[in-house]
Amino acid sequence: MRLTPRTFRFPLLLALPLLAGACSQWDGRQSSLNPSVTAAAVTPDSLYAAGIDSMRQGEYQEAIGYFDGIEREHPYSTWATNARLMAAYSDYMRNRYTEAIGALDRFIQLHPAHRDIAYAYYLRSLCYYEQIVDAERDQRGTEIALNQLQEVINRFPDTPYARDARLKMDLARDHLAGREMNIGRFYQSRGLYTAAIGRFRRVVDEFQTTNHVPEALHRLTEIYLALGLTDEARKSASVLGYNYPGSSWYQDSYALLADRGIETDGPAASRPGFFARAWNSVF
């Protein structure tokens, strides 16, 4: 399941200047060129232009044929370096993520100072990100995607790629939190309260910016009441009420406590830093 649409296409800043130099030699040959033509008989700039033209038309397999031809027949040309990156992008657009990652790994290793190295790291992170599965399944891929996105941010903090990576990291964290919530609910439904508490606490501790935190606090309130730990239940509900006062989860928690004659912290919840103090006092 993909969480967001693809927002970055291949780097036009890389493609367009090169095409400008190739157009004078192009001479309308895109209709006669195809990947099966012996690449040695065609100039690398014309092959590159043909590959870009195929990409624009969505013919990514054909584009890879052109780019591979450049690498095979003109491996030491400047066009070959850019062809590697364009071939990786074409594989990405075909959802051939394993192939794209392999090509990008080689590109990064061979060309660490390339002007589009930031894009290469970003595209590699997208290959992992777009393989994130739904929250019902194993989330090791999500962890890898987070690491890859974080690397983009660390290496290229002031680029548009880093800004997009930050947004995708938020979505990936929300995905991980959803997984923890699914497991926690399962444990709670089976009466395995200690295990459930561990899952819900992880959501509150490690995924505080996600939209799963209000429910996690409510579930903790439910479990503490079931265990007879009224003080812990009251504090969890107070944290919930202070941070999410309009949440339906707080209303549910408040109703649970009210049924048992337990009041949530009122004035205390208005003090600065209450979330941290109350949460730490619970645990």
Inside any domain, residue 110: no
Query: Given this model, what pLDDT does residue 4 score?
Result: 39
Give the end-to-end CA distance of the chain in Å, rounded to a whole number. Answer: 36
Whether residue 10 is predicted with pLDDT greater than 70 in this model: the reply is no
CA atoms within 13 A on the CB side of 49: 22
Inside any domain, residue 188: yes
Inside any domain, residue 222: yes
Inside any domain, residue 156: no
Inside any domain, residue 108: no
Average pLDDT of the residues in 229-256: 91
Residue, of 29 and 281, whose pLDDT is higher: 281
Confidence of residue 141 (pLDDT cuts 50, 70, 90): confident
Confidence of residue 16 (pLDDT cuts 50, 70, 90): very low
Residue, of 3 and 182, whose pLDDT is higher: 182
For the entire predicted model, the pTM comes to: 0.70
Inside any domain, residue 184: yes
Considering the chain, what is the average pLDDT of its residues?
81
Residue, of 116 and 19, whose pLDDT is higher: 116
Query: Given this model, what pLDDT does residue 110 score?
Result: 92
Domain of 200, in residue numbers:
179-282
- 74, 96, 118: which is the final residue of a domain? 96
- 96, 130, 158: which is the final residue of a domain? 96
Inside any domain, residue 37: yes
The model's pLDDT over 190-240, given as tens digits with 9 standing for 90+, comes to 999 999 999 999 999 999 889 999 999 999 999 999 999 999 999 999 999
Whether residue 84 is predicted with pLDDT greater than 70 in this model: the reply is yes
The structure tokens listed for 262 are 């337990």
- 78, 96, 114: which is the final residue of a domain? 96
CATH code, 187: 1.25.40
Tally of domains in the chain: 2
Percent of the chain with pLDDT over 90: 59
Inside any domain, residue 237: yes
